[in-house]
Amino acid sequence: MIPLSWYLIFAAALFSIGLFGVLSRRNAIAILMGVELMLNAVNINLIAFWRYRAVEQIAGQAFAIMVFAVAAAEVAVGLALVISVYRRQNTIIAKEIDMLKW
């Protein structure tokens, strides 16, 4: 009923929105939110391809689980870094975090 193309177009659109978010936001946490959108788009792509092209194999699902795990790990470490930077420099605007030490 629903062709594969609809899922792929949706995933590409979600990825582009995430890309726009990463490239154009000032706040470091907002950049991480854009990265999350991109990872979700990739996951939808993987599962759509699994369902439409290779339902008997399990590689699509296994890979999607790996993306889940990596996304969770990356968000945890990224946000810990942001909080740590905020404690030191009292800012989280990506443009202002440009000196290693002064």
Region 60-99 residues binding other proteins, contact defined as CB under 8 A: 61-62, 64-66, 68-77, 79-84, 86-87, 90, 92, 94-95
The partner residues of 27 in beta bridges, in order of sequence, read 93
Is the CB of 6 or the CB of 98 nearer to other proteins? 6
The DSSP symbol for 76 reads H
- What is the smallest separation between the CB atom of 98 and other proteins, expressed in angstroms? 13
Q: Which residue has the tokens 């177009």?
A: 9
* Pattern 2-21, other proteins, x by CB under 8 A: xxxxxxxxx-xxxxxxxxxx
Please say whether the beta carbons of 34 and 73 come within 8 A: no
